[in-house]
């Protein structure tokens, strides 16, 4: 048995956790697994095929409320955990993490400080396919870019899988489900699909962990994660890494200009 599973078994046995969220073998690929005892922990797996961001489950109240939770985390899940902690969605001491690092090693994290330190010292994993598409999009003129995104978003049929896959989309009522007032038309059309994605990206400004799960979840292959990626880059450029000086959407200085609302 893999060494890291002994750690999870220990945590179950000494009462440190009562739920561990990881992966188990599925029909074709590994699927999320919710181990409720040390016996369940034996069937856990983790390898390159486990590319989702399991931090998405940490805010699912029906699953984790009142529980001490352990999680299998890749680099990006660690980023999401750090951000969720900064947003007061996680409490220190209530969760444990088994980090599966890019070099294939495994590291248990016992505190948020350890996670933040690791993120500071570790560059993000390379994403070759995304980088190529980003280069292609950046080489376009503004009108070509507009055409590219209009074309991509015209395919969207508002299934909201991109929202469900995102660890940072944890509002109990999403703007797309509010109908008094109706902010965004519920049916799919190019305009309302644009409105939906613009809202999603704005809401994630400075909060996105750049994990790519939203794009991977889209059944139509729309690369919506590149929109949040671009916002992530712009926020980093203007305001620094999220969490360093507060979150960009909830932090202000008294002298900030307000001319955009006058
Ligand atoms: S890349 Fe997508 S899924 Fe991941 S945190 Fe950002 S918006 Fe959410
Ligand atoms: S997952 Fe794709 S199709 Fe579904 S709402 Fe998001 S962008 Fe649209």
- CA of 222, nearest ligand number: 2
Question: Ligand 2, closest atom to CA 193?
Answer: 8
- CA of 208, nearest ligand number: 1
User: Which residues does 69 contact at the CB level (< 8 Å), separation at least 6?
Assistant: 17, 18, 19, 20, 21, 58, 94, 95, 96
What confidence category does residue 49 fall into, taking pLDDT thresholds of 50, 70 and 90?
Answer: very high
Question: Ligand 1, closest atom to CA 56?
Answer: 3
Structure confidence at residue 181 (pLDDT): 87
Task: Work out whether strand 19-24 and strand 69-73 pair parallel, antiparallel, or are unpaired.
Answer: parallel
> Does residue 250 have a pLDDT over 90?
no
188 lines ligand 2 (CB under 6 A): no
Domains of the chain: 3-121 (no CATH), 128-239 (1.10.1060)
DSSP, residue by residue, 207-253: T-----HHHHH-TT---THHHHHHHHHHHHHHH-STTTSS-TTT---
**For the residues 161-181, what does the mean pLDDT come to?**
93
156 lines ligand 2 (CB under 6 A): yes
Residue nearest to atom 4 of ligand 1 (CA): 211
Instruction: Output the pTM of the full model.
Output: 0.91
Q: Strand, coil or helix: what is 69?
A: strand
> Does residue 252 have a pLDDT over 80?
no
176 lines ligand 2 (CB under 6 A): no
Query: Ligand 2 centroid to 50 CA: how many Å?
Result: 22
- CA of 197, nearest ligand number: 2
Pocket of ligand 1 (CB under 6 A): 165-168, 204, 208-214, 225, 228
Structure confidence at residue 106 (pLDDT): 95
Go through 87-112 and write b for each residue having 16 or more CB atoms within 10 A of its CB, e for each that does not: bebbeeeebbbbbbeeeeeeeebeeb
């Amino acid at each position: 048995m893999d060494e890291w599973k002994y750690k999870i078994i220990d945590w179950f046995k000494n009462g440190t956790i009562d739920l561990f969220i990881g992966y188990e073998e599925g029909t074709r690929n590994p699927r999320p697994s919710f181990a409720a005892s040390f016996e369940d922990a034996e069937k856990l797996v983790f390898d390159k095929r486990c590319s989702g961001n399991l931090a998405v489950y940490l805010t699912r109240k029906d699953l984790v409320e009142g529980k001490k939770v352990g999680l299998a985390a890749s680099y990006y899940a660690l980023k999401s955990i750090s951000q969720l902690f900064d947003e007061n969605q996680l409490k220190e001491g209530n969760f444990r993490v088994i980090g599966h690092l890019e070099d294939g090693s495994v590291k248990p994290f016992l505190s948020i400080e350890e996670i933040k330190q690791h993120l500071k010292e570790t560059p993000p994993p390379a994403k070759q396919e995304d980088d190529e598409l980003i280069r292609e999009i950046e080489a376009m003129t503004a009108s070509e870019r507009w055409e590219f995104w209009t074309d991509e978003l015209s395919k969207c049929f508002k299934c909201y899988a991109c929202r469900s896959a995102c660890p940072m989309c944890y509002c109990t009522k999403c703007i797309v489900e509010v109908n008094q007032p109706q902010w965004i038309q519920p049916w799919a059309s190019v305009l309302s699909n644009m409105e939906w994605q613009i809202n999603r990206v704005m809401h994630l400004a400075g909060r996105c962990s750049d994990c790519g799960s939203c794009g991977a979840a889209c059944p139509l292959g729309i690369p919506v994660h590149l929109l949040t990626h671009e916002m992530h880059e712009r926020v980093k450029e203007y305001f620094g890494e999220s969490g360093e000086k507060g979150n960009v959407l909830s932090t202000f200085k008294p002298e900030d200009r307000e001319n955009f609302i006058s």
